[in-house]
Amino acid sequence: METVELRVGFVGAGRMAGGLVRGLLRAGKVPASSILASAPSDKNLDAWRELGCWTTHCNLEVLQESTLVILATKPHVLPGVLQEIRPAVGPHHIVVSLVAGVTLQTLQRLLPSGTKVLRIMPNLPCVVRAGAMVFARGSDAGDEEAALLKNLLSSCGLCEEVPESYINIHTGLSGSGVAYVYLFAEALAEGAVKMGMPSGLASRIAAQTLLGAAKMMLETGEHPAKLRGEVCTPGGTTIHGLHQLEKGALRATVMNAVEAATNRARSMAEDKEQGWGEDLPSPAEQEG
Ligand SMILES: NC(=O)c1ccc[n+]([C@@H]2O[C@H](COP(=O)([O-])OP(=O)(O)OC[C@H]3O[C@@H](n4cnc5c(N)ncnc54)[C@H](OP(=O)(O)O)[C@@H]3O)[C@@H](O)[C@H]2O)c1
């Protein structure tokens, strides 16, 4: 197994950072002794210590001790965190933000000029190493940094580099999409319960059905419409079921859901950008 000689720091140690670190550790990509996380309280840090990682309450210590620094706070906290850490950010750092709605342009504006910045958008199944992540690079991050990030994060699931404009679409498709799939799984299982199957068994079978269908899509590379056609015997059970889904406009409803969540992600990002423009001067403005 490949081990990357790298010191990885997390500023913010909550659910998403915890999910990523578990993926990294399970894959053996980075030893726990090379990982340092900071947070104001011990609420989440206790779990990091149990994993064997170093922890601190001082964000600057993460910058001092790490090369790859992952910003993983809630968005409203990030302006203060950037203001605090930017004097310690140097050319050897690779700064990766997973904070929703904060653009590369803003990150670059608020960090020293020339900082290698990348932005990733994970989803929660990273915890079980079945995440779907996209990332985009800032103007000073090169192929080496992109390859390093992709290599590391692939241990937590699918990881693709994309233009930054796809990140909000990814939120609508996959970040929020996880919840749509849970709703569909619940409905599948409840249908079985209605027909007389016990609930626990129905839930397990619904989950395995989603997993199997997803694996078929990934492993065959086939369009889902083709795979769906293969399940449909003329006059059989599946086409009768699919007819009901079409009558309920499942396809249009799900497309609407992706569109609505993407638009919401875009407008939240715009609100943040506007607020931050006023709140926080760029380093150049501060120096001036
Ligand atoms: N959860 C998701 O599905 C998901 C998906 C994609 C992206 N994201 C992004 O991930 C980020 C974190 O989300 P989350 O769900 O992991 O949130 P969370 O569980 O609330 O974690 C936030 C972490 O930030 C820490 N923190 C608060 N103030 C800080 C400060 N001043 N300096 C350093 N750390 C500070 C918190 O400390 P304590 O431990 O002391 O509370 C906590 O460890 C968000 O920006 C979100 O947009 C989340």
Ligand 1 site, residue 100, Cβ cutoff 6 A: yes
Please give the domain boundaries of the chain with CATH numbers for all domains: 8-165 (3.40.50.720), 176-248 (1.10.3730.10)
Q: Residue 112 pLDDT > 50, yes or no?
A: yes
pLDDT value, residue 29: 83
Ligand 1 site, residue 175, Cβ cutoff 6 A: yes
Question: Tens digit of pLDDT for each residue in 230-278?
Answer: 999 999 999 999 999 999 999 999 999 999 999 999 998 888 777 766 5
Tell me what the mean pLDDT of segment 58-63 comes to. Answer: 97
Residue 28's pLDDT band (cuts 50, 70, 90) = confident
Question: Tens digit of pLDDT for each residue in 201-236?
Answer: 999 999 999 999 999 999 999 999 999 999 999 999
pLDDT value, residue 288: 35
Of residues 26 and 118, more confidence is placed in: 118
Ligand 1 site, residue 177, Cβ cutoff 6 A: no
Ligand 1 site, residue 102, Cβ cutoff 6 A: no
Alpha helices in 159-249 (DSSP H): 167-170, 177-194, 199-220, 224-231, 237-247
Q: Residue 4 pLDDT > 90, yes or no?
A: no
pLDDT value, residue 283: 47
Ligand 1 site, residue 37, Cβ cutoff 6 A: no
Tell me what the mean pLDDT of segment 110-131 comes to. Answer: 93
State the helix-helix crossing angle for 199-220 and 224-231, rounded to 10 degrees. Answer: 120
Whether the CA torsion 113, 100, 9, 85 is positive or negative: it is positive
Å from CA of 119 to ligand 1 middle = 15
Binding site residues for NADP(+), as ranges? 72-75
Tell me what the mean pLDDT of segment 68-88 comes to. Answer: 95
**Cβ-Cβ contacts under 8 Å for 124 (sequence gap 6 or more):** 15, 16, 19, 131, 178
- Report how far apart, in Å, the C-alpha atoms of 149 and of each of 99, 116, 194, 209, 227 are: 16, 12, 46, 32, 33
Residue 128's pLDDT band (cuts 50, 70, 90) = confident
Percent of the chain with pLDDT over 90: 84
Which residue among 73, 78, 103, 171 is best mutated to probe the pocket of ligand 1, counting the most ligand atoms within 8 A of its Cβ?
73
pLDDT value, residue 268: 86
- DSSP string of 106-168? HHHHHS-TT-EEEEEE--GGGGGT-EEEEEEE-TT--HHHHHHHHHHHGGGEEEEE--GGGHH
Closest atom of ligand 1 to CA, residue 41: 40
Å from CA of 74 to ligand 1 middle = 4
Question: Tens digit of pLDDT for each residue in 167-189?
Answer: 999 999 999 999 999 999 999 99
Q: Residue 153 pLDDT > 80, yes or no?
A: yes
Å from CA of 10 to ligand 1 middle = 10
Of residues 5 and 108, more confidence is placed in: 108
Binding site residues for NADPH, as ranges? 59
Closest atom of ligand 1 to CA, residue 100: 47
Q: Residue 133 pLDDT > 60, yes or no?
A: yes
* Mean pLDDT for the chain overall: 92
